[in-house]
């Protein structure tokens, strides 16, 4: 999805030619078409919270609600902007808690360049970890029992089906925190817990099973 958007000419051409910060663009049909595209993508995929584009010319922020009209906001003051420029490729960010609605969000971002390799901007989508939890993790079972969870490569728990609210998921707790709070034996022949650093994938899914 991000790669497809990054190669969409009418979107990139508009942002490449958009040079006046805070200018009146409400009547621009091309701008409205871009916003409609972002809204349509988010509407038809429950995993996508938002689509965004940060043009290099003005350092503003555009998403499915249009341009973020705060003249004090500059993407160059945001850590994610420099992270994207440093990586300079398609990448997935570490899951974070949205400060506004407390949802778990991870982003897929990429830099966008023209034919001369000049930076046009940073494009990305925000993925809702909560949707992954409800649609997949909460339903995971091993031989009809157990509880599924999603763990990041740094050991942070992204999703866990804690129906009794014993874990504060707003802090992205570690596996060690999980085992302290829950009376479930994890070091079993059928489930050997390793350190998070020993895993190569960015995100892992396992089923945690109680044999009691």
pLDDT on residue 47 = 82
| 2 contact partners, CB below 8 Å, separation of at least 6 | 90, 108, 109, 110, 123, 124, 125
Are residues 7 and 111 located together in one domain of the fold? yes
**How many domains is the chain partitioned into structurally?**
2
In this predicted structure, the answer to whether residue 194 has a pLDDT above a threshold of 60 is no
Are residues 120 and 164 located together in one domain of the fold? no
Share of the chain above pLDDT 70, in %: 61
pTM as predicted: 0.68
Average pLDDT score over residue span 164-181: 65
Are residues 143 and 204 located together in one domain of the fold? yes
In this predicted structure, the answer to whether residue 189 has a pLDDT above a threshold of 60 is no
Q: Are 152 and 202 in contact (CB under 8 A)?
A: yes
Per the listing, tokens 């707003």 go with 170
Are residues 19 and 77 located together in one domain of the fold? yes
The model's pLDDT over 52-109, given as tens digits with 9 standing for 90+, comes to 999 999 999 999 999 999 989 999 999 999 999 999 999 988 777 776 676 778 889 9
In this predicted structure, the answer to whether residue 206 has a pLDDT above a threshold of 50 is no
Are residues 22 and 101 located together in one domain of the fold? yes
Nearest one of 138, 137, 144 to 210, comparing CA atoms: 144
Are residues 149 and 198 located together in one domain of the fold? yes
Residue 73 maps to which CATH number?
3.30.450.20
Are residues 87 and 37 located together in one domain of the fold? yes
Are residues 117 and 44 located together in one domain of the fold? yes
Q: Answer positive or negative: Cα dihedral of 152, 174, 154, 172.
A: positive
Give the domain extent around 96: 2-128
Are residues 143 and 121 located together in one domain of the fold? no
Nearest one of 110, 201, 212 to 158, comparing CA atoms: 201
The model's pLDDT over 112-127, given as tens digits with 9 standing for 90+, comes to 999 999 999 999 999 8
Are residues 100 and 168 located together in one domain of the fold? no
Domain boundary residue among 87, 106, 128? Answer: 128
Are residues 69 and 159 located together in one domain of the fold? no
Mean pLDDT is highest, among 110-114, 176-180, 199-203, for 110-114
The model's pLDDT over 162-172, given as tens digits with 9 standing for 90+, comes to 666 666 655 66
């Amino acid at each position: 999805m991000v790669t497809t958007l990054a190669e969409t000419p009418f979107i990139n051409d508009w942002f490449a030619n958009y040079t006046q910060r805070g200018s009146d663009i409400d009547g621009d049909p091309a701008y409205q078409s871009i916003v409609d595209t972002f809204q349509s993508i988010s509407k038809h995929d429950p995993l996508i919270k938002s689509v965004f584009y940060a043009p290099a010319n003005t350092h503003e922020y555009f998403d499915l609600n249009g341009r973020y009209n705060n003249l004090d906001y500059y993407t160059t003051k945001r850590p994610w902007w420099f992270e994207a420029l440093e990586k300079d490729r398609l990448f997935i960010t570490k899951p974070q808690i949205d400060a506004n609605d407390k949802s778990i969000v991870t982003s897929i971002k990429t830099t966008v360049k023209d034919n001369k390799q000049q930076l046009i901007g940073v494009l990305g989508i925000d993925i809702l970890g909560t949707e992954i939890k409800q649609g997949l993790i909460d339903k995971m079972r091993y031989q009809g029992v157990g509880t599924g969870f999603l763990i990041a490569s740094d050991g942070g728990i992204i999703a866990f089906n804690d129906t009794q609210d014993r874990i504060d998921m707003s802090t992205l707790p570690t596996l060690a925190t999980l085992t302290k709070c829950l009376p479930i034996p994890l070091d079993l022949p059928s489930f050997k817990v390793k350190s998070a650093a020993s895993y190569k994938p960015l995100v892992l899914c396992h089923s945690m099973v109680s044999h009691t």
